[in-house]
Structure 1
Amino acid sequence: MSEFDELQAVIRRHAAARQAEQRACEAFLNALYHALRTASGPGLPLNNVTLDFTLDPTVRLRPPPNGSFHAAWLRLGLCEVLVRVRRLDGAFQGEYGSEGVFRLEDTSEDALLTLARQLLRDVGVAYGAALVTESHLN
């Protein structure tokens, strides 16, 4: 068997695990989207939140190997934030924006709401910090 044939066999053998990981990460991103829609509190949905799955810009192989990040753009009104997530040791580990990171072992509604609110705060700080910096330059 040639090295090429071995590579094809390995890719085929791990296809089911890769697809399961992708479905789990996409389900997590979808749950985060729903948490963002309700992050303002009961009865106060954020109607201008949308979700767009995308290829992770850092993945250099297709199909992505097990353990790779899966990504989505979350549109939050006038801005968008890239959220990347992967499964690692039974938890969801991810990053968002320029510096936000998270690790969730519990994907309960409360845990996702806490993450959604933190994401909103961090994105707000990022834009607020840019405005403060500009005002100091004038």
Structure 2
Amino acid sequence: MSEFDELQAVIRRHAAGRQAEQRACEAFLNALYHALRTASGPGLPLNNVTLEFTADPDLRLRPAPAGSVHAAWLRLGLCEVLVRVRRLDGAFVGEYGAGGTFRLDSTTEDDLLVLARTLLRDVTAAYGGDAAPPSHLN
């Protein structure tokens, strides 16, 4: 078997696992979107929140290998926040904005609401000048 054929076989063999991981990360990003829409409390939806899945800017291989980061832009009214997430040891680990990070071992509604409110506070601080400048450039 040539090296090329071996590469193709490995990609085929692990396709189901990669696809399941991608679906899980996209479902997480969708759940975070819904949490952001309800972050203001019951009966107070944020109507100008949208979600747009995108290729991770750091991804250098397609299809994405297992353990890769999946990304989406969350539009929050006048700004957009890139959220990147991947599965690590059963948890969702990710980053958002200029330096926000998270790790969620469970994705209950309350866990997602806490993350959504933290994200909103961090983005507000970044635009309000209360946040430290990012330590690296994109």
Q: Secondary structure at the match of 1:126?
A: helix
Give the TM-score normalised by structure 1. 0.93
Question: Quick one: percent identity of the two aligned structures?
Answer: 83
Letter of the structure 1 residue corresponding to residue 82 of structure 2: L
Match of 1:6 in 2: 6
Letter of the structure 2 residue corresponding to residue 65 of structure 1: P
**Larger CA Rg, structure 1 vs 2:** 1
Match of 1:128 in 2: 128
Mapped partners of 2:20, 2:64: distance in 1: 12
Q: CA deviation at 1:118?
A: 0.2
Letter of the structure 2 residue corresponding to residue 79 of structure 1: C
Mapped partners of 1:90, 1:63: distance in 2: 21
Q: Secondary structure at the match of 1:106?
A: coil
Q: CA deviation at 1:53?
A: 0.3
Q: Secondary structure at the match of 2:75?
A: strand
Mapped partners of 2:60, 2:106: distance in 1: 30
More helix by share: 1
Match of 1:55 in 2: 55
Gaps of 5+ in 2: 131-138
- Where has structure 1 moved over 3 Å in runs of 4 or more? none
| Coordinate RMSD, CA, aligned | 1.1
Mapped partners of 2:124, 2:95: distance in 1: 16
Match of 1:90 in 2: 90
Mapped partners of 1:49, 1:11: distance in 2: 36
Letter of the structure 2 residue corresponding to residue 35 of structure 1: A
Gaps of 5+ in 1: 131-138
Query: Matched residue pairs, number?
Result: 131
